[in-house]
Chains A and B, each alone.
Chain A
Amino acid sequence: MSAFSAIGEEREIDRDEFTPGIEPQATWCPGCGDFGVLKALKQAMPEVGKNPDEVALFTGIGCSGKLNSYFNSYGFHTIHGRSLPVARAAKLANPNLEVIAAGGDGDGYGIGGNHLIHTARENHDMTYIVFNNEIFGLTKGQTSPTSPKGHKSKTQPHGSAKSPIRPLSQSLNAGATYIARTAAVNPNQAKEIIAEAIEHDGFAHIDFLTQCPTWNKDAKHYVPYTDVQQSDEFDFDVSDRVEAAEMMRKTEERLYEGEVLTGRMYVEDARPSYGAEKRAIGEMPEEPLAERYFDEDAEWERTYDNLLEHHK
């Protein structure tokens, strides 16, 4: 019997269960795109049949990092840029948990960029939502890794000389197996994409455009947007790496020309998740490791019996 009875519990889930009684109202600025992520995430939960006690949400630092103050589940608000390494170990420790990580564009593409590359490379079975508002919000409007070239701010007074990072292309190269872009202004698509990402068996990266009405007025509100799956203009095979790469490049470039393209960019179902790979080579137990610590009958190996012979 599992020591974690919330996991896999069969019951109807109501999205309101995910609203915490302690902080039901988020403190983001009026009109902030972050509300869109929260709403879509809550709406996706009944669809994927997960209850608050089987979901572990790991966040970074920034406005986006406060997501788990307003989302009622197990939460770990970590440190700037490090939500992914904390999250993926929780998944290894207990693969039955539904693990979601979230953070901003500075958090995920700047300070935590290395972790994103490696977590995608390893293809951990988890969902990563990046709140991309092309700005540092909570620290009051500095240029971020996704701010357009020429972006002026107090830290880049003459305009940024840097080209913005290409989050989708980079994730594809790194090895993510589900990559999508959605926007706060498109709640239905956002909910569907989050649900798909959670159900995807592998690393799912969602670049979530979240307008910042306070510090990034230039970026508009990501309207109008085009859903590339619904548009006749973009006919590409989402499972084809080469076509996906082309689509991503277009999506990234056009954003800075004022055209907002959203939708599924790449979906690869064949590649096993990291946990499966690790179990296949005998480097991870078949049963969730965390269960063992709660099993009173578990037998624990002793070094005296197993390892000392070699030293005699």
Chain B
Amino acid sequence: MTDNELIWRIAGGSGDGIDSTSQNFAKALMRSGLHVFTHRHYPSRIRGGHTYVEVRAKDEPVQSRGDGYNFLLALGDSFARNPQEEAYYGKEELKPLYENFEELREGGVLLYDEGLLDEEDVEEIELEEAAEENGWHVVPMDLRGIAKEHGREIMRNTAGIGATAAILDIGTEEFEGLIEQNMAGDMQEANLNVLQDAYDAASELDIDHDIEVPENSHDEEQVILSGSNAISYGALDEGCRFISGYPMTPWTDVFTIMSQHLPEFGGISEQVEDEIAAAALALGASHAGVKAMSGSSGGGFALMSEPLGLAEMTETPIVLVEAMRAGPSTGMPTKPEQADLEHVLYTSQGDSARVVFAPANIRECYTQTRAAFRIAYEYQIPAIVVYDQKIQGELRNLPASHFDEEPNADPGSVLTEEEIQDAAHHSSGKFQRFLHEPEDGSNVSPRSVPGQKDGRYLATGNEHNPSGHISEDPENRIAQMNRRLNKLDDIRADLDENAGHQTYYGPDDADYGVLVWGSQQDTVFEAVDRLNENGHSVKALGVSDMMPYPVEEVSEWLDSVDEALVVEMNATAQFRGLTQKEIGKYGDKMSSLLKYNGNPFEPAEIVDGFESSINGEDLAATNMKYLPAAGD
């Protein structure tokens, strides 16, 4: 069977340059005209430990990591702690070669660095037998030797790229271009030599295999970037010029990108003592008139709970991002999961008044982060962008024109000094910042900013009267609570009119539905295509608005299908629970396909899960869990 797509996996140890090599590989393929997508897998370690990245390339836009891989470049773990011993973690040095062996597709290529991996060890893992059984094409090459001949051992990865290019017959032009662009002097020369040498050596081997890398060209200029890039760029284009944070995987990426660019964009980045401070600083900056953000991952976000509530009560706009990783507690720091949904929706005391968006891909990371800022500042409410380690790190190409948008630095519902003069004041002169019934009939009472003449007011986490002074008067309480909570209805109407955050996929008249949120959406879409090819009648709906929930849209869609499978990466079906809570019906229509082993769904798993669920088959032997509909 010929594969007309490439899923190239580069595997080594943390510190072996796996990440940067895969990024260059993906970029080179994009430049050659292909569509690309990357999937990262790495341990929570600085040096050593099995790390891999898969680059999937096709002649059409790639939706997901795909199923398994068909080319393995196993560099071996040069930072293994106990290279020769059978340690707790198994034979570490060798792990990049044999771990997930079973996912290499039939007829695939397995290229490994025999310069690092000992021949006897390789014999022990019975590579030859496995290769024979699966029709793999095993290619041992001394990549280390080639690297050392021209430069340093670390250039093993460049040698691996050269050999890959020869085996796949895709030429070295784009790789050379990247080396010339990214490096200079001796380094550049050495890498070019390593690339060429490995290419020549592999060409001589004349490897025969079943992978056919397609050819393609792009109609318009493409860029390749990650979800973290897209979130950061969305924030910057929406006028965010202040970020405060504390490092935590996987949120650190956004924090780093923003910190790199804020100075040149005239902004300020603050690394602070903890996440309580991080959220509090963003609040302080926003209170003083600046568009500000903060963010974290699970545990750090837990610390932001109280400042988040303060933002709701004082109606101070802020944007927080939450990069989910597998929990509970420290969980699995570098593995994706979608189990913080309820955490971001409800954390902090009292009734929540916040906005939560869950972008599904890089494109949506940009648009929905922009929407989060616009809504937060117009409606004076905290907005949260919740995503996960999968989107954070995966790279994908898209047209550069997606980012060709005008910036919007509008600070939202803020008055100018002239407007303050005409606005309502208490008889003592204090500005009425929190009117029960704002003049324009909306629920947003415009604010002043410290330093503006005659705009002084009190912001407080206590319940307060129109000037912000503490009040426990029951009538005032009801008026302020209602106004704050009613903003969510206004925001829902605004989003319905302007945003279109939900994504519909597949034939309108399909019998079955797959409901999904966040990072698993595009994988589901790929699975839906296959299910329809298999003769099923299936469509999908990807939901991004978690709060305020798009009740009408989802109800209509659920109404149109006989049954729906809700796919999410957690163990307790949080999104399905939210949907049932928000809509109040369809509990008997929705069953769940869940995965929480630290790896995102592959499209084939969703196909299997769907087919098993409608056939009533057991999923116990898989990585997934099936949760039947209410009453089943």
Contact = CB atoms under 8 A, between A and B. Distances in A.
A138 interface: no
B411 A89 contact: no
Contact of A303 (B241, B291, B403, B453): B403
Contact of A86 (B239, B281, B309, B407): B281
A53 B224 contact: no
A89 B239 contact: no
Contacts, number: 233
Nearest to A74: B450
A298 interface: yes
B237 to A, nearest CB: 5
B62 interface: no
Interface residues on B, range: 35 or more
Contacts of B404: 304
A256 interface: no
Interface residues on A, range: 35 or more
A229 to B, nearest CB: 33
A69 interface: yes
B428 A89 contact: no
B307 interface: yes
Contacts of B453: 4-6, 9, 53
Interface in A131-155: none
Contacts of B470: 66, 69, 77
Contacts of B236: 301, 303, 307
B289 A307 contact: no
Contacts of A23: 469
B229 A311 contact: yes
A82 to B, nearest CB: 5
B281 A21 contact: no
Contacts of A92: 242, 268, 270, 285
Interface stretch (A31-39, A156-164, A177-185, A282-290): A282-290
Contacts of A93: 242, 268, 284-285, 288-290, 292
Given A82-B307, A311-B224, A68 B237 contact: no
Interface string B452-471: 11111111111000011110
B407 A298 contact: no
Contact of A90 (B284, B468, B469): B284
B225 interface: yes
B456 A21 contact: no
A74 B277 CA distance: 21
Most chain A CB within a 10 A radius of its CB, from B269, B417, B460: B460
Given A82-B280, A93-B285, A301-B236, A290 B272 contact: no
Contact of A308 (B290, B310, B400): B400
15 contacts: A4-B451, A69-B469, A74-B456, A78-B310, A79-B280, A82-B306, A86-B281, A89-B280, A92-B270, A93-B285, A94-B288, A285-B268, A290-B289, A293-B291, A311-B223
Interface of A: 2-7, 9, 20-23, 52-54, 56, 58, 61, 66, 68-69, 72-79, 82, 85-90, 92-94, 96-97, 114-115, 117-118, 278, 282-285, 289-290, 292-294, 298, 300-304, 306-308, 311-312
